[in-house]
Amino acid sequence: MTIVRWDPLRNVATLQDRINRIFNEAFADSKDFEDEVSMSAWRPVVDIFDTNNAIVIKAELPGIKKDDVSVDVKDNVLTIKGERSLSKEIKEENYYRKERSFGKFQRSFTLPEAIEPAGIKANFKNGVLEIEVPKAEEKKPKQISINVE
């Protein structure tokens, strides 16, 4: 058996490599998210769900006027843009706490190929933007009746 002098710092480099690898693996998939976040000051929350006739997108936009929001569709990418402005009536030094986010935002979503872009409807009510993207006729589920003999 060989006697080896104990070195307390011998495993520090190995430990650092392991920690770096863990963080790289954990955050490797978040690159797209970081790119999207860096483009805007804040990011409104969104729900996207499917119905029989359409794909529905609901975005929470509290404190935003209808005129400060735009919805665009280009090359099957739906983009919601807008801005929430800070109240100029309240001076910065009068705040005790300021947790709400303000500024410009942008969210983009890739839509499936089988949609009807001309039929897209947007409704803005109580701070919630609801966008309904109708499906193309060939992608809607069809009910087939069964005859009993």
pLDDT > 60? residue 39 = no
| Distance between CA atoms of residues 56 and 71, nearest Å | 14
Token pair of 38, please? 């860096």
Rounded to two decimals, what is the model's pTM?
A: 0.63
Report pLDDT for 84: 87
Look at 26-40, 85-99, 101-115 and tell me which has the smallest mean pLDDT.
Answer: 26-40
- Tell me the percentage of the chain whose pLDDT exceeds 70: 83
Angle at the Cα of 86 from the Cα atoms of 80 and 87, rounded to 5 degrees: 130
Average of pLDDT values for 55-62? Answer: 94
Check pLDDT > 50 for residue 37. Answer: no
CATH 2.60.40.790 fits 41-89+98-138, yes or no: yes
